[in-house]
């Protein structure tokens, strides 16, 4: 199992990756958090810079985000802590028999 994390704001980009990997091997995990929550977690001040126009094409500010239409997993990272978020992904993998239970 390989897990990767990307800011992938466009449906078409995610669809391309699904086609390359193959639908049976690609699991889309939607880490959902509203913009206000993302900004509150921004330790580098990138959202502030984007709002000031110092960063162009910043997802959620000056560039759109297209939420997944049918992700395999939705993890509400806006309300779940890291441990619970990870547990949700691991439980999904176990339920789908992709990871040994135990």
Catalytic residues: 8
* CA triple 10-15-20, angle to 5 deg: 130
Q: Give the Cβ contact number of residue 45 at 10 Å.
A: 11
Query: Pick from 96, 76, 95, 72: which is nearest to 85 by CA?
Result: 76
What pairs with residue 59 in β-bridges? 63
């Amino acid at each position: 199992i390989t897990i990767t994390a990307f800011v992938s704001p466009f449906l078409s980009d995610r669809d391309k990756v699904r086609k390359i990997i193959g639908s049976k091997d690609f699991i889309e995990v939607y880490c959902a958090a509203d913009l206000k929550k993302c900004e509150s977690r921004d330790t580098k001040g990138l959202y502030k810079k984007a709002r000031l126009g110092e960063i162009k094409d910043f997802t959620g500010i000056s560039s759109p985000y297209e939420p997944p239409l049918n992700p395999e997993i939705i993890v509400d990272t806006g309300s779940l802590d890291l441990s619970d978020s990870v547990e949700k992904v691991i439980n999904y993998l176990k339920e789908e028999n992709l990871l040994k239970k135990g």
